Structure 1
């Protein structure tokens, strides 16, 4: 069963943005649906309950799971689910408060203290998955056959038992659980705090990482270059620390994987994503094979539009010369997204509406606030919270559509309950990317001139390249990093070389790489927080493009099937979810269907050149 503290990681790796502007009245979170305050009596009550519930659970069940009958096993699962729910609620509150201001020492301490306590409380529960995995398959199947309510939880048992071959002794599992707070969790915090505290000097102005990354999308080429060089300088100064973080985490993973008998560094991620290695391999190979017809071809167009002999890394996310600099205020962004959702299905817009009205979105850029954007599901009996850093760009409208899509998905799946609602990462992007695509099509239909259409198309292609090509290049970098770390300590130069080996291949011949770009692996949080996570973006994008192609082909009951898919949450495998649409992710042609949607948009852009 999933760990009670789900990471509130940004769900879309977009070069985040910072700045100011009059975008109307931007909403802020109201976290009181979780707890009214850090010292709320309800929070203390829940912490006290959790401590007792975990201890009681261990007393009542440890060493006894194999002897439970079907109704006894159901009671046990329901008690476990309630513990997961309360722990998730507390950590959601602590985490979201922290993300609102990561530089506030009190918030950081509050989160760390609660994480430590909950880790201690939940240590006695480690026996649960270990004992479940010692029960004979036949005995478990008999329990499912006997009790329909218990059978509903079968996917949880299956996911748990996927780890069965890699399980250590009870004592070792408890030790690993206990030790995690000074292991990977501590290195994660060191990374986060270091990144949040970095200062970049750009033309005499001191900026944080958000403000500096934002310069890479500035219309002024000199500012973009100044931003890129400032990033390179500071990453270079800190590269030994980032190298130490990566070396340690990769080694820690290698040690744990070796003890568990995991065949590859990626195995654990594939198991938690509920996806077969060969499906990921088919995706990876399809994308790498498509580099020339996707990124190489698009960046050649962009090079011409910008009137350059060669693109530099600071041109990759440059706005296009024909781009409209209009700022989209918040109410227009809200209307655009809700209209696009409503055109697809009024129900989708209805589910999204309360996010705007009830303090479920935190939109403004603020000092100390975490970068990027995410939707955090909290727990199944509350509701998700969406975080943005909204700056009124058309891309920010797409990000709003994306994160709201997550929110809608999480609301629909909540009916599955705490243990079955959360989807594996590979399916977690389904509604977000689909919602973004609906909004993009709405904006494209509203384009009044060829130039507007061109800008929208190019922006969408660029986002898809960042989501598919860039993330698969990231995945290849991680695969190479973990493989190389297996042969010994990696110097910063070793890691730099691995980074550059994937960058040239994925971006193509239109690019030249400045000195210092080789350290740009250093700031990407996914490598640290969740190894091999990044392929889930490409998986999600490819899956949705294939799904959207089916929607465009027409069919009366697409909406109905789509909502059923979202309501399933994590209760079904990707094969089962895609079958009603006639799709199968293990078929290499499936990925080509998604990729051809991107190359089709590039075809249209090339045709506009003539």
Structure 2
């Protein structure tokens, strides 16, 4: 295996950040041709057939013990399939341009999809069971009742369920539907090359240049991004048109009232809660992003910010790169300062090959924490380039990882947290790291740099993501009226950008194509509001921590440990918080506003 520092130097202008870790996927499987992987595939195919033979058409005849056995067998099937696809997916994301890896993930998906057709009956048949029948089973067996939160989320789709034959068709066709377009998007993005001052970058590398001190370099990077994205905008438009139309067709057949409904059901969150969040953030645009960007233009000595100035460092900010060991120390110390158990849970990520940090040719852009399966452990992907924001990204993804480790105690069906709460631990991890750095700031300039960086991160997490959500809402509504040209999509994009960023930002030609590289629009429609939900929730949580620190750590870890076993009302109740209260969101937004107040007072 090549030294990761070599990969890093190739991708980051010759700079090294220390011994960056790479994944050791052997905890899943030792190789694509590993005997255990073949054995698991064979077992899955045989067990899926046996499961259907044992239970299809018979769920309404089961007693409580029999239903528990059926669910536990299904859970084991999901676990084995999840292990296989986690391994295939993580290998693929390490090198999306590798033909063998792309073929391997497609082959695994095909085999598992074909085999799991036998299991489609379970959801359909379970949703036809009477409520009274299920209530009786839950009362008779506490172990079965433990699964009720997951089963209730399944039954939320009951009114939107299609015929058994149609559901099987959609299941079988899925491999050539959204997942195929997702792969086309990933491969297209990974293959893009951006040339800035005779250096060639992928999307991560060129986007990283937008936060350099040298303004002319930032402008060159932004214009090159605009050139390359504009050159590929027809492909991006085709992907978005197809996925939005596919979604419209399925939503229409399922009688889902809005394009967002499926996401709200999956998140187990009420539409009015999301609408209250969206409305609160949009109403706060003038107090948050508009005000902050006007301040930043003044700091930079500009009449208007251009797209390449929005994430620029402040003039007094040191232009230094943070070594990997320093980043690790910063985050783990902040975690330990909150609770030593947090640092203990984070430790194996750094020592056991659970993190893949270097930027590498063909590697997927961005960062994520993948939970894999509950009898293994999560893996974190980064594209580490030594910027302060990369340290915060490490804190963010490590928060996800800690959450996933704790929630794994719930088992496969109850560990997965709805997206609205999935960002809680990640954003809280960022907040802990930020507060530790702020406390240690040696002077007012250092404090100003930290506060400005945090405000920008919060604006990117709250304002930007709600603007993304509005863009998606507009895109899907417009697609229902007909095919959208790249110019049509660009106009929708620019409308939300202007509204959210405000009059202090002036756009450049080509910025109308920047929607093309946002992966969430492709992979997870309407995912993005979860970021704003999580950030605002964490701001309120942290305020509760400052007001009443006694016993907070135990309650917080218990909340993470609950995974998907409780509704957001029940999870937040111990902290005296309620996300269904419209005033709740103003508390979170108020923290951002307070930071901007402090920055204004420093001038």
TM-score range for the pair, normalised by the shorter chain length: over 0.9
Is 1:289 paired with 2:246? no
Residue 312 of structure 1 aligns to a residue whose secondary structure is coil
Q: Give CA deviations for 1:438-469 in whole Å, capped at 9, x if unaligned.
A: 01000111110111110000000000000000
Q: What residue is the counterpart of 2:420 in the other structure?
A: 426
What's the counterpart of residue 99 of structure 2? 105
Name the CA distance, whole Å, in 2 between partners of 1:25 and 1:220: 27
> Larger deviation: 344-353 or 324-333?
324-333
Deviation at residue 326 of structure 1 after TM alignment: 2.6
**TM-score with structure 1 setting the length:** 0.96
2:334 to 335, 340, 351: 340
Residue 453 of structure 1: aligned partner: 447
Deviations along 1:204-260, one digit per CA (max 9) or x if unpaired, are 443322222122112111111111111111222221221111111111100000000
Q: What's the counterpart of residue 207 of structure 2? A: 213
- Corresponding position: 1:394 with 2:388: yes
1:356 to 350, 357, 379: 350
Q: Distance in 1 between the 2:279 and 2:377 partners?
A: 38
Hey, what does 2:7 align to over in structure 1? Answer: none
Give the distance between the partners of 2:185 and 2:456, measured in 1 at CA: 28
Matching residue within 502, 505, 526 for 1:511: 505
| 2:475 aligned residue | 481
1:536 to 518, 530, 546: 530
- In the alignment, which residue of structure 2 is the partner of 1:268? 262
Q: Return the offset for 1:22.
A: 2.8
Q: Which of the numbers 168, 193, 198 marks the counterpart of 2:192?
A: 198
Q: Which residue matches 1:416?
A: 410
State how far apart, in whole Å, the 2-side matches of 1:579 and 1:207 are. Answer: 47
CA distance in 1, matches of 2:436, 2:14: 27
Residue 18 of structure 1 contacts residue 389 of structure 1 at CA under 8 Å; is this kept in 2?
no
CA RMSD of aligned residues (A): 1.1
Decide whether aligned partners of structure 1 residues 563 and 600 sit closer, same or farther in structure 2, where only a CA change above 3 A counts.
same
Shift of 1:28: 1.3
Name the structure 1 match of 2:5: none
**Matched residue, 1:145:** 139
Contact 1:578 1:584 in 2 (8 A): yes
Tell which deviates more after alignment, 369-378 or 411-420. Answer: 369-378
SS at match of 1:513: coil
Asked if 2 retains the 8 angstrom alpha-carbon contact of 1:249 and 1:528, the reply is yes
Once the 2 structures are TM-superposed, how far is the Cα of residue 389 of structure 1 from its aligned partner?
1.2
| Match of residue 3 from structure 2 | none
User: What's 1:502 paired with?
Assistant: 496
Aligned equivalent of 2:66: 72
- State the partner residue of 1:374: 368
Shift, 1:20, TM fit = 4.7
- Alpha-carbon distance in 2 for matches of 1:450, 1:205: 37
**CA offset digits 1:355-387 (Å, max 9, x no partner):** 111111111112111111111100001111111
Q: Which residue of 2 aligns with 1:89?
A: 83
Distance 1:496 1:303, change over 3 A: same
Q: State the alpha-carbon separation in 2 of the partners of residues 195 and 434 from structure 1.
A: 30
- Cα offset, 1:327, TM superposition: 2.2
1:199, distance to aligned residue in structure 2 (A): 2.1
Query: Secondary structure, in 3 states, of the residue corresponding to 1:375?
Result: strand
Provide the rounded CA distance (Å) in 2 between the counterparts of 1:211 and 1:329. Answer: 17
- Looking at structure 2, the residues matched to 18 and 115 of structure 1 have their Cα atoms a distance apart, in angstroms, of 34
Judge conservation of contact 2:186–2:364 (CA < 8 Å) in 1. Answer: no
**Cα distance in 1 for residues equivalent to 2:282 and 2:396:** 25
Q: How far, CA to CA, are the matches of 2:14 and 2:377 in structure 1?
A: 29
Measure the CA separation in 2 of the matches of 1:379 and 1:106.
24
1:403 aligns with 2:402: no
Note closer, same or farther for the CA distance 1:278–1:19 as it changes in structure 2 (3 Å cut): farther
Partner secondary structure for residue 246 of structure 2: helix
Query: Per-residue displacement from partner, 1:148-170 (whole Å, max 9, x unpaired)?
Result: 10000001110000000000000
CA distance in 1, matches of 2:524, 2:577: 28
2:459 counterpart of 1:465:
yes
Partner of 2:51: 57
Over residues 160-206 of structure 1, what are the superposed CA-to-partner deviations in whole Å (9 max), with x where a residue is unaligned?
00000000000000000100111111111111111111222333443
Q: Does 1:160 align with 2:154?
A: yes
**What secondary structure sits across from 2:200 in the alignment?**
strand
* 1-structure distance, mates of 2:392, 2:578: 27
Do the aligned partners of residues 601 and 304 (structure 1) sit closer, same or farther apart at CA in structure 2, a change above 3 Å counting? same
Measured in 2, the distance between the counterparts of 1:440 and 1:544 equals: 13
**How many angstroms apart in 1 are the aligned matches of 2:354 and 2:341?**
18
Question: Does structure 1 residue 44 correspond to structure 2 residue 38?
Answer: yes
User: Are 1:421 and 1:570, in contact at CA under 8 Å, matched by a contact in 2?
Assistant: yes
Displacement of 1:302: 0.7
Q: Of 583, 589, 594, which residue of structure 1 is paired with 2:583?
A: 589
Q: For residues 83 and 373 of structure 1, what CA distance do their matches in structure 2 show?
A: 28
Give, in angstroms, the shift of residue 317 of structure 1: 1.1
Query: 2:4 — aligned with what?
Result: none
Among 407, 429, 432, which residue is 1:435 paired with?
429
Q: 1:110, 1:375 → 2: CA distance?
A: 21
Gaps of 5+ in 1: 1-16
Aligned to 1:573: 567
Q: Once structures 1 and 2 are overlaid, which stretch shifts more, 80-89 or 97-106? A: 97-106
Query: Equivalences for 1:11-22 in 2 at 5 Å?
Result: 18-22=12-16
**Structure 1 counterpart of 2:293:** 299
CA distance in 2, matches of 1:207, 1:274: 40
Match for residue 311 of structure 1? 305
Quick one: distance in 2 between partners of 1:123 and 1:548? 45
Are the aligned partners of 2:374 and 2:411 in contact in 1 as well (CA < 8 Å)? yes
Q: Give the corresponding residue for 2:487.
A: 493
Match of 1:26 in 2: 20
8 Å contact from structure 1 (residues 98, 111) kept in 2: yes
1:458-516 deviation per Cα after TM superposition (whole angstroms, max 9, x unaligned): 00000000000000000000000111111111111111111111000100010111111
> Over residues 284-309 of structure 1, what are the superposed CA-to-partner deviations in whole Å (9 max), with x where a residue is unaligned?
00000000010001101110111111
Report the count of equivalent residues.
593
**Deviation for aligned residue 1:21:** 2.4
Q: Give me the TM-score of the superposition, normalised by structure 2.
A: 0.97
Distance in 2 between residues matched to 1:122 and 1:50, nearest whole Å: 8
Q: Distance in 2 between matches of 1:177 and 1:135?
A: 22
In structure 2, how many angstroms separate the alpha carbons of the residues matched to 1:342 and 1:105?
42
